[in-house]
Structure 1
Amino acid sequence: CITQQISCPLFTPQWAVGFEDLYLPESGSYFSHNTSDNYMLFVLDGKITLTFCQYQNKLFEAGEMFFLPRNMDFSGKVLDSAHLVLLKYNGVKFPCLEERIRRLIEKKAKGSYSWDKIQIKEEMRRIIEDLIHYHEYGLSCSHIYLIKAQEIYLILKHFYTDDERIRFNYPFIGYNPDFTEAVITNYMHMRTAEELAAYLGYGIKTFRKQFKASFGITPYKWMQQQMALQIRSKLMKKEIPLKQIMFEYRFTTTSHFIIFCRKHFGGTPMEVRNGKVPETPPLVGRNASVDMTRILPVG
């Protein structure tokens, strides 16, 4: 089977597949995740916690799945020996996608939803078991994993409710999925909305209009929120000096940095770092001994 794969002129080797079957047996161990790709996380056994954005030590148990967006740092801890599966998920398109997205947008606007985990239903578990089986027996061509990603989309469409789909895909539900994906992929490399608009080939007025339709707020406010979430995550890591965070995010004075933190978190940088402000900041929206980035294929 492996020889036949290698001899195929269209064979894509395993490193490009973006599928990992991970066993984390040591309770109390830590891991981290940072990649330029979107991933689906499936917790098949055990318990873990994840820290990301405004969430600190959010619990994930066996039978739950979650969407990990690109360009976002996660750190985690193994509570009980865990079996995880990660599958790269970078854009599955069907003719019915845009119409379904419009319907979810309407429900999202009318309801009270948040980005959250959902249950792994029996139909979804069967797909994951197939992926594990293929992986164990050396089927490492990316085409089978692309087919399975498409199958996962159809399972989400037919076996999950709109409420479940909204929670699971919450960060990506916009009027234009391609525009949303392009923003999320590139915003971290741009200082201003004007730079981001120019890079994506939009005039600033058109960009602001499209952005407001897709994200519900202005580009400036959204980029400020994303920066605040990243800063809070770094403030929680006491091994990162405050001066390093200030330099990375271009704060020219300590007073400017303090004002920013008070506005977005309700306290000074040191108060955030020492746990003296609420874990869930006004903005809606550990030391890692095991680094998941060394296991995750990046690119």
Structure 2
Amino acid sequence: MNTFCTRQIDCTQCPKISEGILVHHRFPKGQHFSADKCTQNCMIFMLRGELLVNSEEYPGTTLQNRQFILQAIGSKMELLALTDVEYIVYWFTELPVLCEERFKEILDRSEAPLTFTPLTAIPKLRNLLDDLSEYLQEQPTACGKYIDIKCQELVYILTSYYPLHQISTFFYPISTYTESFHYFVMQNYDKVKNVEEFAHLGGYTTTTFRRLFKNMYNVPVYEWILDKKREGILNDLQFTKQRISVISARYGFDSLSHFAHFCKDSFGDTPRSLRKRAANGEKITIICKEKGEEEGEDISD
């Protein structure tokens, strides 16, 4: 029996519709999501069931009812429903923090624990999650302003009602992503073909961008992006069934011949051969790391 209140207005045509910020999921036992990089920061709040999470922070961790975790942008996460599951995912770039001083104290105290442990929802958070679950199931359209307010309330509860040592550890994964430059790099490195394009995308001169990047990452931009592309390509060839042409286009290659040449230089073989070798159980590694960078040189070539 549906116990939801019925909304009295039609929000489908409203320009302030919220999409993809708070998402309610229900999946059957056995539902599996292969390891993939988070394109934003996210929190997973379990409502019912058991969900197996496999990531660097939470390797082989089973999320139980009312537990929750945080994964930072750029991190890889694999999910498997051990039972029928229901959970809410909160996707965000920057948190809607009401008390900046408190959040700064949390980040200042954050440090990597020996083992990351999921937090458990306190009654105040449970009430909010139940309310959100009901709301998100009412209709496929959600009011953007309402969702913004609920996100503020969610963050307020986390930062104000949990002990400092607990919540500081919880937020540690995103403590290194708080600088806007770092956010910009993680969100755009796979969308550009060369360093100059990368710099202009962020409104920097090429010289300034390179200096900032080298100070933060301690490697030249060109080498860093190439390494990231190699990691992504190798992951896609070994662990996904995506067509080679799709992978090639995804990483900005103008032709399959350029992509094949890049794979031979980086991994020692063609894309098709690499995929066959991986299917036979062979572990493929990166054998080439190109040094130096030239102004405007295409990263995909």
Query: TM-score, length-normalised on structure 2?
Result: 0.65
The answer as to 2:134 corresponding to 1:133 is yes
Give the equivalent residue in structure 1 for 2:48: 45
Report the Cα distance in structure 1 between the residues aligned to 2:99 and 2:215, rounded to whole angstroms: 20
Report the Cα distance in structure 1 between the residues aligned to 2:213 and 2:82, rounded to whole angstroms: 39
Report the Cα distance in structure 2 between the residues aligned to 1:208 and 1:156, rounded to whole angstroms: 37
Give the equivalent residue in structure 2 for 1:185: 187
Could you say if the C-alpha distance between residues 82 and 95 of structure 1 is closer, same or farther in structure 2, counting changes exceeding 3 Å?
closer
The structural deviation recorded for 1:146 is 0.9
Give the equivalent residue in structure 2 for 1:223: 225
Report the Cα distance in structure 2 between the residues aligned to 1:106 and 1:217, rounded to whole angstroms: 28
Could you say if the C-alpha distance between residues 98 and 126 of structure 1 is closer, same or farther in structure 2, counting changes exceeding 3 Å?
same
Could you say if the C-alpha distance between residues 98 and 143 of structure 1 is closer, same or farther in structure 2, counting changes exceeding 3 Å?
same
Aligned-partner residue type, residue 129 of structure 1: D
Q: 5+ residue gaps in structure 2?
A: 1-5, 269-273, 288-301
Report the Cα distance in structure 2 between the residues aligned to 1:211 and 1:156, rounded to whole angstroms: 32
What SS class does the counterpart of residue 187 from structure 1 fall into? helix
Q: What does residue range 84-163 of structure 1 map to in structure 2 within 5 Å?
A: 84-94=87-97, 97=100, 100=103, 104=107, 118-122=118-122, 123-136=124-137, 140-158=142-160, 159=162, 160-163=166-169
The structural deviation recorded for 1:85 is 1.0
The answer as to 2:26 corresponding to 1:23 is yes
The structural deviation recorded for 1:166 is 0.5
Q: Higher RCO, 1 or 2 (CA under 8 Å, sep at least 6)? A: 1
Q: 5+ residue gaps in structure 1?
A: 263-267, 283-299
Could you say if the C-alpha distance between residues 161 and 55 of structure 1 is closer, same or farther in structure 2, counting changes exceeding 3 Å?
closer
Aligned-partner residue type, residue 130 of structure 1: D
What SS class does the counterpart of residue 49 from structure 2 fall into? strand
What SS class does the counterpart of residue 83 from structure 2 fall into? strand
Give the equivalent residue in structure 2 for 1:194: 196
Report the Cα distance in structure 1 between the residues aligned to 2:215 and 2:102, rounded to whole angstroms: 16
| 8 Å Cα contact 2:43/2:69 also seen in 1 | yes
| 8 Å Cα contact 2:97/2:155 also seen in 1 | no
Larger Rg: 2
Q: Which residue of the other structure, out of 2, 11, 17, is the alignment partner of 2:7?
A: 2
Aligned residues: 264
1:75-103 Cα deviation digits (max 9, x unpaired): 64323211121223243354864995697
| 8 Å Cα contact 1:208/1:219 also seen in 2 | yes
Query: What is the aligned-residue identity percentage?
Result: 17
CA RMSD of aligned residues (A): 4.5
